[in-house]
Chain A
Amino acid sequence: ILNVEQSPQSLHVQEGDSTNFTCSFPSSNFYALHWYRWETAKSPEALFVMTLNGDEKKKGRISATLNTKEGYSYLYIKGSQPEDSATYLCASLTDKLIFGTGTRLQVFP
Chain B
Amino acid sequence: EAGVAQSPRYKIIEKRQSVAFWCNPISGHATLYWYQQILGQGPKLLIQFQNNGVVDDSQLPKDRFSAERLKGVDSTLKIQPAKLEDSAVYLCASSLFTGIMETQYFGPGTRLLVL
On A, residues with C-beta under 8 Å from B are 4, 31-32, 34, 36, 41-46, 49, 51, 89, 91, 93, 95-102
Contacts and interface: CB of A to CB of B under 8 A. Distances in A.
Interface in B67-115: 91, 100-109
A41 B100 CA distance: 28
A44 B45 contact: no
Nearest to B48: A96
B108 to A, nearest CB: 5
B4 interface: yes
Interface of B: 3-4, 33, 35, 40-45, 48, 56, 91, 100-109
Contacts of A100: 42
Contacts of B3: 43
B56 A44 contact: no
A46 B103 CA distance: 7
Given A31-B100, A51-B101, A93-B100, A99 B106 contact: no
Contacts of A91: 42-43
B8 to A, nearest CB: 14
7 contacts: A4-B42, A34-B104, A49-B101, A51-B100, A91-B42, A95-B56, A101-B41
Nearest to B107: A43
B56 to A, nearest CB: 6
A43 B4 contact: yes
Given A44-B91, A102-B42, A97 B104 contact: yes
A102 B43 CA distance: 10
A4 B45 CA distance: 14
